[in-house]
Amino acid sequence: MRNASASAASRPAEPPPPRLVGRAYRSRGKWIFDPARRWRGGRRELTWSGSTGPEDGDHCIAEVPDDGPARLVEVLGADDRPEWDDRSVASQYRLRTFFSPQVEREVGRLAEPAARDFAGRVDLRERLTFTIDPEDARDHDDALSVSPAGSGRYEVGIHIADVSHYFRPGSAIDAEARVRGTSTYLPGGAIPMLPDRLSGDLCSLKPDRDRLTLSVFCDLDRDGALYGVRFAEGVIRSRHRLDYGEVQSVLDGAHSVSPELAEALETLRRLARALRGRRREAGALELEVPETKASVDGRGVPLRIERREHLESHELIEEFMLLANRCVGAEGARRRAGLLYRVHEPPSPRKLEELDLVLKGLGLPRPGAAAEPARALQALLAVPLDPPRRRLLHRMVLRALARARYLERDLGHFGLAAHAYCHFTSPIRRYPDLHNHVRVREWLRGARTGAWDPVELAAIAEQTTAAEQNAADAEREAVRVKGLRFLEGRLGERASGIITGVVPKGFFVELDPTPVEGFVRVSWYLDDHFVLDSSGVRLVGRRTRRRFTLGDTVDVAVARVDVLARECELALETPPRRPGRRHHGRT
């Protein structure tokens, strides 16, 4: 029989109370916290430890449990300023923004790679290698090379920063990276998983600098068939720091580079197209859900809110990163090497049925036979639609899918139509990749560490999955805040948008071209009572029979914005009534 303490230890820890933004004020001799957002608990008494507290009326962040007083976490100040948007989000999501003195001491002992670090490594410095990243990227953890291998084949080198060279498992750097799990990218800058000395300097594959790598060499033919793969510890010297837009211009013939680089990029494009075709034939899904980017100035004021353009240059990099991840995963599975796998389980029949009902209500093509969900969803995603409705359809399919996660064993990856798939290519910003780097170094050197305990692997998988989701939520929240700030100074401005969600009280609209979402309370603007139809995809007026359906384009105006409450209300632009018409409804 297990004792009580053992049973308690086996139970999952209670989640911490949420952190909310609000205001602190004094009332009848007590400090009160008033959340900016609607909160089931409403106002609470505010407590804190220490002598430093808020001034009356200060904006602050507090932990608000289900019962009892709120606890002060951080005072933001008297004014609502764009400068502290990122700081506020980081605090709300408990993101670690400072490194401990112990981590800083370990980092301080690190030095540029030198000749002694190159021993036993493949010297790749004479090869044409280059990085392709977003224009504003600071951490460059992957580079590519390509060369003819004879018989119509090519050797593609996928060179990944060897972060694991710089510290030992169990060190302070390793422990901190595991807790953080991932880097988080907010509009004003990144909160890195690793200190900047590593992430932005020693490990970053900067041009014209000697850098250590773990490299995957893939022998491919023109049709994307893989004939062989090998792994090596290497040292490279990147020749070019390219960005996606620049590479796309080269591929489109609008920008010229050296003949050697142009030929390499064109070869990689042909191979990437072939790899993509093979994945599609295997059943991989091609979801297009554009990411929203907020560009800000030095004071945090948003300059632009826009959808990131999806280019073929993105697909080029994506294909070779996926290839490297699959190759490492397959070899790790063969060796039983203690990898963390990236798994994505098939959608449940219930989710597919719900998707089918929604699509039926919208009059859109439906997935069809659930016996082959991958093929059915592939066909659905290929339906030609205008861009707004295409985005809506792809989002609905994404919501029907299971969420990808990390696991200590392989369950396959439904979205990629792959088995034994792992993350390997981003060790600067993802801890599972870094863990897998350690495992690859072990098999290259014929040595093992003690990190083979399946219970420990399961704990790392669970922790890093949670950290990834928390970071993604924080990133979305931060972009949402900047989107609201962007609209804050545009009250009364008119815009069009697409209906992205309907509820009994109204509908959500994503504005175009500025992708910020707001809410329309339809009964405020039309003299009718609206109800959801049986399919749940449209609101119908009982008297007028007017309809508002998912995917419809509507004209609205920005009516109210509350950044701290994360609210945006939109006014429905309605055409004027025709002269002479009278309302015969009840009075």
Strand 240-243: give its sheet, edge to edge. Answer: 122-123, 226-237, 210-221, 153-161, 142-150, 130-133, 240-243
- Of the ranges 52-66, 71-85, 360-374, 412-426, which one carries the lowest mean pLDDT score? 360-374
pLDDT in the model for residue 370: 63
| 583: confidence class by pLDDT, cuts 50, 70, 90 | very low
pLDDT in the model for residue 15: 84
| 2: confidence class by pLDDT, cuts 50, 70, 90 | very low
Q: 279: left (phi > 0), else alpha (psi -120 to 50), else beta?
A: alpha
- For 27-42, what is the mean pLDDT? 91
| 371: confidence class by pLDDT, cuts 50, 70, 90 | confident
Higher pLDDT, 584 or 237: 237
pLDDT in the model for residue 79: 87
Contact 112, 37 (CB under 8 A): no
- For 305-316, what is the mean pLDDT? 95
| 128: confidence class by pLDDT, cuts 50, 70, 90 | very high
The closest alpha carbon to 377, from 360, 392, 398, belongs to 398
489-572: CATH number = 2.40.50.140
pLDDT in the model for residue 81: 93
pLDDT in the model for residue 472: 97
- For 435-455, what is the mean pLDDT? 83
- Of the ranges 66-80, 435-449, 541-555, 565-579, which one carries the lowest mean pLDDT score? 565-579
Tens digits of residue pLDDT in 35-60: 999 888 789 999 999 878 999 999 99
| 586: confidence class by pLDDT, cuts 50, 70, 90 | very low
pLDDT in the model for residue 12: 54
What residues contact 488, with CB distance under 8 A and at least 6 apart? Answer: 561, 563
Share of the chain above pLDDT 70, in %: 94
Contact 344, 415 (CB under 8 A): yes
Tell me which CATH homologous superfamily contains domain 15-79: Nucleic acid-binding proteins (2.40.50.140)
| 478: confidence class by pLDDT, cuts 50, 70, 90 | very high
Q: Dihedrals φ, ψ of 166, to 5°?
A: -95, -5
Chain CA centroid to CA 441, Å:
28
Share of the chain above pLDDT 90, in %: 83
Residue 532 has pLDDT above 60, yes or no: yes
Average pLDDT, the chain: 92
Rounded alpha-carbon distances, angstroms, from residue 434 to 324, 377, 555: 14, 33, 48
| 576: confidence class by pLDDT, cuts 50, 70, 90 | low
* Alpha-helical regions (H) of 336-418: 349-362, 373-381, 387-400
> 116-129 in b/e burial notation, b at 16+ Cβ within 10 A?
ebbeebbebeebbb
Residue 107 has pLDDT above 90, yes or no: yes
pLDDT in the model for residue 575: 66
The closest alpha carbon to 563, from 76, 94, 33, 65, belongs to 76
pLDDT in the model for residue 71: 96
Contact 89, 474 (CB under 8 A): yes
Residue 157 has pLDDT above 70, yes or no: yes
pLDDT in the model for residue 7: 39
- For 146-167, what is the mean pLDDT? 96
Chain CA centroid to CA 547, Å:
34
- For 107-129, what is the mean pLDDT? 96
| 8: confidence class by pLDDT, cuts 50, 70, 90 | very low
Q: 73: left (phi > 0), else alpha (psi -120 to 50), else beta?
A: alpha
Annotated domain spans of the chain: 15-79, 101-345+402-483, 489-572
What residues contact 27, with CB distance under 8 A and at least 6 apart? Answer: none
Q: Map tokens 């928390």 to a residue.
A: 470
CB atoms within 10 A of CB 494: 11
**Structure token pair of residue 144:** 């590519």
Give yes or no on whether 15-79 and 489-572 have one common fold: yes
Residue 299 has pLDDT above 70, yes or no: yes
Spatial distance between the Cα atoms of 274 and 319, rounded to a whole number of angstroms = 9
Burial class from Cβ neighbours inside 10 Å (0-12, 13-18, 19+) for residue 451 reads middle
Tell me if residue 215 falls in helix, strand or coil: strand
pLDDT in the model for residue 14: 78
